[in-house]
Amino acid sequence: MITYLAIFALLFVLELIYMRLALRLHIVDRPNERSSHSHIVLRGGGIVFLLGVWLWAAFFGFHYPWFLAGMALIAVVSFVDDVHSLPDSWRLVVQFASMILAFVDLAPMGLDWWWEVAALIVCVGILNAYNFMDGINGITGGYSLAVLLPLLYLDTCGLERLGLSAPFIEPSFLLVATLSALVLCFFNFRTKAKCFAGDVGSIGVAFIIVFALARLMVATQDVSYIAFLLLYGVDSVLTICHRILLHENLGVAHRKHAFQLMTNELKMPHLVVSSIYMSLQLVVSFGMIFLSVNNYVYCLIVGLIVAAAYLLFMKKYYHLHEEYLASLPGNEK
């Protein structure tokens, strides 16, 4: 316990030091017409996840050296992108390279090479989808906690449910990642956020979560645990489909996610929206753990319910976003 308190204190102090440096170096997020905030906010506060991984390795040992190498690579490049935008192709190359490194610490996966390639593409897709989340106060840290807590429960108290005799990942790894998310929430889960996670944070914590989920899936040979990302996953996939139907460039920033419509068009407080996403994901994840339902059946039923809710929400409120777009300079009729 003392070790974790020390790590938490160190993370808190290091985050404060980073925020002072970011203020001096003008590492900030300036609002534009696509933003969901209206004032300048420090960017890159999610560097706490990289710091947390380093501290975990320092205190508990280098259990996953290839993952650590991948985490360092992807976080550093993401931080550079926060400071000075990099070409999409560069970031994708680094993301694939980092995920390949992490896959080494998943071996043996027991999959044919084409399935491993497919898994690699899906994992990189999850990283980029998760990256869209930052910008709503509290959602990156809060939703990450909603994913990490069920993983931590299964790894420490749910081994019998999983049919495992040993943890699928070092529990200390998940605990330190959870502490990192709490530190970010302290500064970001506010009506007026002190900092945003930035790419270094959203990509970094997504890398941690994808690695932990992959370890769980490999250990149990059960991919239905993707339900631990179901709420935001459905939102992301259906939003992408919507943008494809609208013939939009998927690489261009937008405000079409359900949580963005809630905050921008419906004027719901950021923290309320973040709490809704966090709470619903916790219900979905722990429902899967405790209900006596086949995991795949559960995942399918809940996925269909969430998808239906998303479509009904968009049918009722998307016209407000169209009105917003029409009001932008150059789009007036």
The string of DSSP letters for 77-105 reads HHHHHHHS---HHHHHHHHHHHHHHHHHT
- For residues 20-33, give the mean pLDDT: 76
Q: Which residues contact 256 (CB under 8 A, 6 or more apart)?
A: 239, 242, 243, 321
The angle at the Cα of 82, spanning 193 to 96, to the nearest 5 degrees, equals 120
Q: Are 300 and 293 contacting, i.e. CB atoms less than 8 angstroms apart? A: no
Highest averaged pLDDT of the listed ranges 90-94, 175-179, 263-267: 175-179
DSSP label of 195 = B
DSSP label of 194 = S
**pLDDT band, residue 268 (cuts 50/70/90):** very high
Percent of the chain with pLDDT over 90: 68
Lowest-pLDDT range, 16-30, 160-174, 279-293?
16-30
- For residues 90-105, give the mean pLDDT: 94
**pTM of the full predicted structure?**
0.93
Per residue in 270-316, pLDDT (tens digit) is: 999 999 999 999 999 999 999 989 999 999 999 999 999 999 999 99
Looking at residue 119, its amino acid is A
pLDDT of residue 315: 93
Per-chain mean pLDDT for the chain:
90
171, with CB counted inside 10 A (0-12, 13-18, 19+), is middle
The runs of H, that is alpha helices, within 189-294 are 198-220, 230-245, 258-264, 270-290
Coil, strand or helix: which one is 131? helix
pLDDT of residue 118: 92
**pLDDT band, residue 114 (cuts 50/70/90):** confident
Tokens of 210: 């994808």
